[in-house]
Each structure stands twice: as structure tokens, then as C-alpha cells.
Amino acid sequence: MRAPIWTKEDLRRLVQREIGDYRLVVVSNRQPYVHELVDGRLTYAVPAGGVTTAIDPLMQECGGTWVAHGAGDGDRLAVDDRNRVRVPPEDPSYTLRLVWLTEEQERGYYYGFSNEALWPLCHNAYNEPVFDSSHWRAYQEVNSEFAKHVLDEIDGRPAAVFTQDYHLALLPRLLREADPDILTGQFWHIPWPNHEIFRICPWQDELLDGLLANDLLGFHLGDHCNNFLETVARAGKGRVNFEYNMVSRGDDLTLVRPFPISVDFDQINSDAQQVEVDEEIQRFTQEWNLEGKVVGLGIDRIDYTKGIPHRFRAMGRFLEKYPEYIGKVVLVQAGVMSRTDIEAYQQLSEQIDHLVEEINGRFGREGWQPIIYMPTDLPSVTLLALRRIARFCIVSSLHDGMNLVAKEYVASRFDEDGVLILSPFTGAALELTDAVMANPYATEYFADAIRDAVEMPLEERRSRMIRMRSIVRENNIYRWAAHLLVDLMQGTRRSRRPFASA
């Protein structure tokens, strides 16, 4: 029997039932809507990135408050005297409360500790983490700043705080110390490394202490949960019950659970069918001379964990090995530049530019280039058009908690066509087993995977896509949110009291 499909309405009903008198506060580094000043006029943008893509639909259903760093140049103009603004701007359904950071705080906390230390520490991408004391101090300071805003927002009322990601590992402890009644849940959107790796962090004790103040700690995969539990056990930071995935420590009890994140399948599925997308497909195809070509697609934040050079090398090897496809297959690589203040990202950008130049120089012909590289923030209509134009989509991450791009591609293909080439090192690979798996490090096999995708008969493309679509439709974002919410509101409320008195 098929499981029922979670919808927005189901989630709304669940929220009403579960949340009751509790205030729901979501906290993340990045804001879901950035206000900008364009020619003196206040406008807004939706930043690229997995966390906002996943949580915004949840907040639209739940209401409540989202606390985040105000990074837009129009943000101060948009908020009221308590730093709050209702969003989404066009159809407000929840409150966004913004936290202001100095440039120095942002450098130390965001670029420094979060993205030069924790990001490489948690991803097997062979980039050495940078542990700098001044970054760490900024991280502590900013976590405290967030705590102040959250506590002010809650104002002593019953509340459930749902913290996002690795930027705010210290927040739950600060909240717990200020108000032990707050229910605390956190979702860690990136992998958790094994203890051998994690223990190189000089501030591992403080990070674990912060995270273990959560009632519920979520990761995408069971493997990430196991790594976390192993880390806690081996670091001697708490009593671990591996059978129930629980850690107890003093008065704290933390449930550690996998919640594989997803996308709003129905929304993407219907957005992809809009007339504007058809028009954009025509425009793009003409502009880039794609008529009659087999198009491959990559959409990524330009990040060294996404394996972008690896996929370009595979594309080069594919053309070298199968020259009959020269002039016939094009790889469009879209995606925003990110974290450009960090040296590793500047190096990556240079490396990508060189590779594109080399491969296009080597194989390109009059009127045809194998790689079209567009590292700009493309409008969502263009991204939807690209997903539909693409015969195949490549996700070649070296390590990725989940990867929403893979699920978005599948959700967009209402025509049930298209091939997903997927790295086995993504969380998505556990669900999307009908993708063509390609190890990004194994260029030879990866090149063959591109050939397999190009040559796959329509019937096989269709049967694989139908199966993948049914998985993403079922395991959608509403299901993810519902499971998390139920575990946070029911599981932790039940477990707190008996443990505290044990």
C-alpha cells in the first residue's frame, strides 16, 4: 500500500494540533528574504541555498518568527523598531526578525569559523580547516547575539526553537541556560564527520556542549547520526544509547534522528509547467544555439564540495573518448558564486575558469562550445527552463548532506523524461537509486556515465524518472517538516521530565 502524500494542508493541520500555545521560532544565519535598495527603491531577493529553499515553505504554513542575520542593504529600512518585518513580501504569513552584525563579526563568525573551519571539517573534500581564535571568539559573540534576539522574541512564553545548521551550534545551550523550558531542536544540514576527524577541532568540547542542549538533533542520514553519537561517546561527552539514538548528559537528554530533507514537489512540478517557462525555453535555446543538441546541466552554488572541476574533466574525457559527440552535446553550468571572501573559493573559481577555457579551447567549433558556464544568479524561470531543456543533470558532489538540486531536477520533469547523473557521496543517492551513479573522482567511469545518459533510450529514461519522481513526491518537504515537528513536540516533551527526575 502506498504511503499517503503529505501536503501543505496536512502540515498546517499538524502544526495547529502540535504547536498549540507554543511559539515557533526558526533561527538561521541566512534570511529567507533579503531587502535591497535598487535605484533608491526597496525591493527584495530570495537567496540561493538549500536551507532557505527547504524552510520557507514550512514557515509559510506555520507562521511564527524566523530570526536571521540581516545582510541586505535595504533591510534596516524594511524593519520596524523591533527589527521585524512580515514576509513573504508579496503575501505575508510570518515574521522575520533581523540580527545586525558588524563586518568584523561577519568575517570571523560566517566566513571564518563557520565556513573556513566547520564547513571543511564536516565535508570530505580534502580542504584543510582553518582554526583561528579570533574567528572562534566572533562565533561565540554572534551566537550570543542571536540568543538575545530569540529570548526577546519569546519573552518568557512557551516556545519551541528550531535552529538551523552549523553557524549556530552554541545557541541551544545559551537558550537552555536562560530558560530551561524552551523546547530546542536543531537540524544540521551538512554531514557530521567521524570522531577521528572531528577531534582536530580545538573547540570540540564547546561545540558538543552546545549541540547537546538540544532536545532533538536532526541530520539527513543515519550515518551522520551514527558519526555524531560515536563522536560524543568517544569524546566522553555523554552517555550514548545507540539503540534509541539518545544522549544523556546531566539534565540534558538529546534525541538524535535522521530526517532526509526534500523539496516542495507539487510546487516545482506545477511551476515547471507555466507558460513563462515554455517561452524561456525557446529564448534560451535560441540564444545559446541549443536546437537539436543534447543538453546536460549543472546548477550549484560554486563550492569546492560540489565537484564542479571533476564534472568538467569528465566532460572533457567524454568528448575525447567519444568524439562522435563533438558538436552534439553541451553542458550548461549555472549557479551563484558563493563565499568569495574565502581564498579556497577564489582558487576554485580560477580553477573552473581555466578548465572551461581549456576544454572549450580544445573541443569547441564554430557555433558550438562543449561547456556554457554562467556563474550568475539566474532568475528562477531560467532555472526551471534549464531543468526542462536538460536531457541529463549532473550532481557530482565530493560530499553533500543531501543535495536539493537532484530532487529539484526530478520534481521539474513532469514530462517524465531526463537522466540524473548522481554522486554516491550525496545524501540524495540513498533515495534516488534510479539515477546513474558516478563517482566524481573516477573520471574514466564518470565519462562513461555521461555517455550512458546521452544514449539511454527514452523508455528507460522514463521508467527511471517515474520511480524517482514517485520517491520525491512521497518524501517531500512537508513530510520532512511534519516528522521533525512531531519528534520535537511529542518525543522531547515526553522524554524530558522522566529523565530529569531519573
Contacting positions for ligand GDG (CB under 6 A): 48-51, 53-54, 189-190, 261, 299-301, 334-336, 377-378, 380, 383, 400-405, 408
* Least distance between ligand GDG and beta carbon 375 (Å): 8
Q: Which of 169, 260, 166 is nearest to 222 (CA)?
A: 260
| Residue placing its CB nearer to ligand GDG in the complex, 61 or 209 | 61
What is the smallest separation between the CB atom of 378 and ligand GDG, expressed in angstroms? 5
Q: Which residue number, 42 or 337, has a Cβ lying nearer to ligand GDG?
A: 337
Amino acid symbol at 458: L
Q: Quote the least distance from Cβ 192 to ligand GDG, whole Å.
A: 12
Cβ 476 vs Cβ 9: under 8 Å = no
List the grid coordinates of 169. 551550534
Nearer to ligand GDG, 30 or 176 (CB): 30
* Grid cell for residue 34: 533579503
* Residue number, 87 or 402, with CB nearest to ligand GDG: 402
SS3 letters across 243-281: CCCEEEECCEEEEEEECCCCCCHHHHHHHCCCHHHHHHH
The CB-of-270 to ligand GDG minimum distance in angstroms stands at 17
Q: Which residue is nearest to ligand GDG (CB)?
A: 50
DSSP letter at 3 equals P
How far apart (Å, rounded) are the C-alpha atoms in residues 147 and 159?
A: 13
Task: Find the shortest distance in angstroms from Cβ 125 to ligand GDG.
Answer: 11
Name, in order, each residue with C-beta under 8 angstroms of 238's C-beta and a sequence gap of 6 or more. Answer: 212, 232, 247, 248, 249, 252, 254
Residue 330, burial from CB neighbour count under 10 angstroms (0-12, 13-18, 19+): buried
Using the minimum distance from each CB to ligand GDG, give the nearer residue, 53 or 83.
53
In the complex, the smallest distance separating the C-beta of residue 187 from ligand GDG, rounded to whole angstroms, is 7
| For ligand GDG, the closer CB: 67 or 386 | 386
Question: How many residues would you count in the chain?
Answer: 502
Query: What is the smallest separation between the CB atom of 303 and ligand GDG, expressed in angstroms?
Result: 6
Task: Considering the complex, state which of residue 149 and residue 387 has its C-beta at the smaller distance from ligand GDG.
Answer: 387
Here the cell at position 134 is: 579570533
* Residue 409 and residue 389 in contact, taking contact as beta carbons nearer than 8 Å: no
Shortest distance, CB of residue 309 to ligand GDG, whole angstroms?
17
**Cα torsion 185, 186, 192, 198: sign:** negative
Compute the distance between CA of residue 406 and CA of residue 106 in angstroms, rounded to an integer. Answer: 31
Contacts of 408 by beta carbon, 8 Å cutoff, 6+ apart:
263, 268, 299, 387
Comparing CB distances to ligand GDG, the nearer of 261 and 342 is 261
d(CA 311, CA 203): 35
Nine cell digits for residue 176: 537552555
Radius of gyration of the chain (CA): 23
- Closest separation in Å from C-beta 289 to ligand GDG: 22
**Residues contacting residue 171 through CB under 8 Å, at least 6 positions apart:** 27, 143, 146, 147, 150, 161, 163, 186, 210
Write down the least CB distance from residue 386 to ligand GDG, Å: 10
Would you say 143 or 412 has its CB closer to ligand GDG? 412
How near is the Cβ of 35 to ligand GDG at its closest, in Å?
17
Contact predicate 351/390, CB 8 Å: no
Which residues partner with 187 through β-bridges? 164, 218
C-beta closer to ligand GDG: residue 215 or 400: 400
* Residue with Cβ nearer ligand GDG (96 or 297): 297
Residue 165 DSSP code: S
Report in angstroms how near the CB of residue 402 gets to ligand GDG at its nearest: 3
* Closest to ligand GDG by CB, 326 or 336: 336
